[in-house]
Structure 1
Amino acid sequence: MGEFDDLISANKTFADDFGLGGFDGVAHAGVAIVTCMDSRIDPLSMLGLKAGDAKIFRNPGGRITNAALEALVLGVHLLNVNRILVIPHTRCAMASSSQSELREKVGASAGQDASWQHFHVVSDQVAALAEDIRAVTSHPLIPDSVKVGGFIYDVDTGLLDQKF
């Protein structure tokens, strides 16, 4: 159990000043963000938002997967979302490695064959972002009234570059 003691201790400190109890769970700024799981990304702070303002969905590469679409549909219809930002980032492992390179690295780390594992690698981030924006805007349960933007986050400057 000691492997998590530092995090449990930090959680107790967090809970001492916890102010979100009883929160309704909707996106108060009407924002949903789909971005990468990369720890260099702080989705709320980079947009000047705070806890409770946005729904955040993270995955490797910040791609629009079936699970991301499910989250966005729920956000739009049940959680006050009226703006969606899709935000991959610079220097992403999903955009700088091939499928075979990732399988090889993971296999070496795992000590077993990973050639069967699929990774959502991206050879062209802008083209992939365009594809992802089309997936969101063409979804039958996401109305045209929802604004959808595609951005690339620069992990070295903290700036967003709007592409779509």
Structure 2
Amino acid sequence: MKKVFTLLAFTLLTTAAFAQNPIKKFIRKHNNGPENVSITVPGWLIGLAGEVGMLAAEDEEERVVFSLAQSFGTTKILTFDSNDFATKKDIRELLGELETEHGYERWATVRAASGEQVELTVEMRGDAVKSIVALVHVEEEHQTFFAHAKTDFTAQELGDILNQLMEQ
């Protein structure tokens, strides 16, 4: 029985880790270069900053944003020079792999007239949003911003927060 439990636990852990592989590969590849920066912010630090931010917030919009921030776990952030890579192709490949092989869903693609492009992709488990991948590509400035955050809120909660932000 102990062997079966160990095998089951190992299997579950390895399948959860596979979704991280394309994200880690993307960060590793695009972190090379003098102006490229990547950081990982632990969830407890984000939660602490959210609590402090809520205490210091002066208006309701700021409180909503800091409240949302408290729902984020470990977050990986990467910014890089788009001229160093085939950025659009790399973004398509990353999002395609996440969506086809790892169960992520594309929630939004926004293209501004000025050339900025925003991609928002989420991983859902049941009603809960488990992780968010956000990419912002600014063609004019040759910069791309990538963020991957572990989360623990429902789609309804996210919608409510976004609606509150839109009202203000």
**Fold conserved (TM > 0.5)?**
no
User: Shorter-chain TM-score: what band?
Assistant: under 0.3
Higher fraction of strand: 2
TM score, norm. by length of structure 2: 0.23
Considering Cα pairs closer than 8 Å and 6+ residues apart, tell me whether 1 or 2 has the greater RCO: 1
TM score, norm. by length of structure 1: 0.23
Higher fraction of helix: 2
